[in-house]
Amino acid sequence: MVPRRDAEHSWMRWSYLYPQREFPYERLVGENGARSRLDPELELLDTGILDDNRYWDVTADYAKAGPDDICGRVRVRNAGPDDVTLHVLPTLRFRNTWSWGLDDRTPVIADKDAALVAEHHDLGRLVLVGDGAPARLFCDNESNARRLWGVDGPDFPKDGIADHVVLGAPTVNPEGTGTKAALWYRLTVAAGETAEIRLRLSPDGAGVDDDWARAMADREREADEFYAAVAPEGTNADEARVLRQALAGMIWSKQFFHFDVDRWLDGDPALPPPPPGRQRGRNHEWRHLNNADVISMPDTWEYPWYAAWDLAFHCVPLAIVDPQFAKDQLLLLCREWYMHPNGQLPAYEWAFGDVNPPVHAWAALRVFELDGRRDHEFLARLFHKLLLNFTWWVNRKDAAGMNVFEGGFLGLDNIGPIDRSAQLPVEGRLAQADGTAWMAMYCLNLLEIALVLAEHDPVYEDMATKFLEHFAYIATASESLWDEDAGFYHDVLHLTDGGKVPLPVRSVVGLLPLAATTTLGSATLQRLPDFAGRMRWFAEHKPAFAAAIARTHDRDGAEGHLLSVVPPERLPRILAVMLDEDEFLSPHGLRALSARHRGEPFSVDLAGVKYSVDYEPAESTTGLFGGNSNWRGPVWFPVNHLLVEAVERFARFYGDDVTVECPTGSGQRRTLSDVADELSRRLIATFLDGPEGRRPVFGSAEQLQRDPALHDRLLFHEYFHGDTGAGLGASHQTGWTGLVADLIMRKGRPS
């Protein structure tokens, strides 16, 4: 295989559309502020600012001529009908660390030999060279104290370059020095034409010469060769486009993240002290946490912070192009300066103590497999840390000690009728079908890791036995969440007085028990006789818990064992609901909430207050859990991916011996393997051109559907309309939607 040039960041391409009209800030803020939750958000394209193609199409390419020798090219195409002038400012800036009161050494950028020369006490010397004859502008990367606070401040603050270019203000340093600097290009480009700027950042000021051109061409060719080799056989051109852009977006979604909670709580020595209330506010129990790393973000534009369960899903597509980075990310999240001393993983910066689903053992297994199943040291290191996290879950989220778990919102925001992270409206506790399923799945993932490690070190057989038995306890306890009449799993509210209030909402909460499934082959049991013997003993002497681990099926003369929360007799029933197009199955994957609730909203009265859930296929109409994201109807890739895998595991156990109707009511009987393929096909189709040349992801954005220059540039949204597949939420490579790359890659993997 050719070098992984994207993984090395040796070739990167970035594109951006820049309006030629004044940006409609006031209209966007004003109209969206006046709209209710029942109205769609006013998007930039809705304002008409890009009508008549009056936009600049900007493409920036970066290629490495060496580890610290970066060649750059900025191309700007005038897509509009008139000649227009554009100001382009390639910029260098030093992060302002000198104002904290810890180290007052200040780096400098100076004007030397028609270039920007940056000198730093740790980083050394770097020189930015540009072709042509741009002006060179300098200011300081310091806040504009006069503008912000009405007090004296630097003469050339960090917005000085912008003020000088836009307003002609004297806010750049005439001495040609500062901690922020830019090359100022003024480009007048004819309609339909393209202008190009060539740049190079290197220690010795290398120029934009033949070596520059060779590096640009070689790195682009190598990246093309890599992605051509990655795409599985049978991938068509449009699927290959989706695959490449999804993976490239994952690479772009890395960002340096720095958060020292101890310092944030106490303040910096040179700055005013924080308000006293901060000591008792959010994250005050996470003083140990000190993040200063490059981390995969959900979205570096709209969500520039890490989230624990998002990150786990990110690592799967990342492992296709950079398995070492994917492994390092999972290990990083479990390191001592991230994981709480009690074993909890940090959720995200505004509330590290929130609870995200425990999917990191699953991610570790997937990354291990994608990396060739050879890095047992990685698996062992992560296994030991995850034992601490598993213990935290058992001690903190099983309130009654009955192996039925809580957890709060668990990343699913507004999916239930009540806010599952807030105090309950009545005295009691909420037994969660998804929380219990996540923990059953966690057991099985840790069991699988222990079995892999046991083949190299028999000590791990003991741990495999522990998680086998613990899974059996949780799977048996989950029986209390099954509704036999509905054929579905639900949350149950247990009242302090002994009463129970089922919450029979048909949501992905009730589908997630499917994900708590794995298989054991006879060959594995033969290789690990101690584990196999204990498994037989447990089944014989603990018959009340044996059903979850004692199911067998013969395929091609070999006996397989099924470990699952969902027993065989329930599988057809729950799949019949899941594969019903009037319920969960949409043209573009599985909805997070059944469309049945469109006409049959669920409601429950608790303490005299009515709580309800109805089908909302697009944006949220409720303020529950902040109202940011909607799990009451849209399609979300992470849970879809897990459910595709779950169906595949059942298929591995049953082979072609079990078929189900898919879609429900169609009369078509399909094997479980075919069902998994059909779910994958629908998810992938969200991004593909349909028969009329329209991509579902673009929805009603006609400019994206019809402009040939934009139609093949994909957006990987946070979630998708439950009926149409149109992208919703954050749109700039929301990390876990990059899982579409793994779905495409699965087509080339043996089942």
Q: How confident is the model at residue 41 (pLDDT cuts 50, 70, 90)?
A: confident
pLDDT band at 5 (very low <50, low <70, confident <90, very high): very low
Average confidence score pLDDT of the chain: 95
Instruction: Report which of 272, 452, 474 is spatially closest to residue 365, judged by C-alpha positions.
Output: 452
Assigned token pair, 687: 């991004």
pLDDT at residue 627 greater than cutoff 70: no
Q: How far is CA 97 from CA 104, 120, 157, 639, in A?
A: 8, 12, 15, 41
Poorest-confidence range of 27-41, 320-334, 366-380, 574-588? 27-41
6 pLDDT exceeds 70? Answer: no
- Band (pLDDT 50/70/90 cuts) for residue 598 is very high
**239-255 confidence digits (pLDDT tens):** 999 999 999 999 999 99
Q: What is the pLDDT of residues 106-118, one digit of tens each?
A: 999 999 999 999 9
Q: What is the pLDDT of residues 405-434, one digit of tens each?
A: 999 899 999 999 999 888 999 999 999 999
pLDDT for 4:
47
pLDDT for the residue 554: 86
| Domain residue ranges of the chain, discontinuous segments joined by + | 11-233
Q: Is 172 left (phi over 0), alpha (psi -120 to 50) or beta?
A: beta
pLDDT tier at 1, thresholds 50, 70, 90: very low
How high is the pLDDT of residue 264? Answer: 95
pLDDT (0 to 100) of residue 555: 82
Please give the pLDDT value at position 626: 67
| Residues linked to residue 91 through DSSP beta bridges, in sequence order | 182
pLDDT at 669 over 70: yes
What's the pLDDT score for residue 2? 38
pLDDT mean over 596-607: 96
pLDDT on residue 688: 98
CATH topology of domain 11-233: Beta-galactosidase; Chain A, domain 5 (2.70.98)
Average pLDDT, integer, range 473-494 = 96
pLDDT digits (tens, 9 = 90+) for 302-341: 889 999 999 999 999 999 999 999 999 999 999 999 999 9
Characterize 147-157 residue by residue with b for buried, 16 or more Cβ atoms within 10 angstroms of its Cβ, and e for exposed.
eeeeeebbebb
**Residue 751: pLDDT band by 50, 70, 90 thresholds?**
low
DSSP 388: H
**For residue 422, how many other CB atoms are within 10 A of its CB?**
11
pLDDT at 537: 96
pTM attached to this predicted model? 0.96
What distance in Å separates the CA atoms of residue 292 and residue 634, rounded to the nearest whole number? 34
- Alpha helices by DSSP H, listed for 670-747, are 672-685, 702-706, 739-746
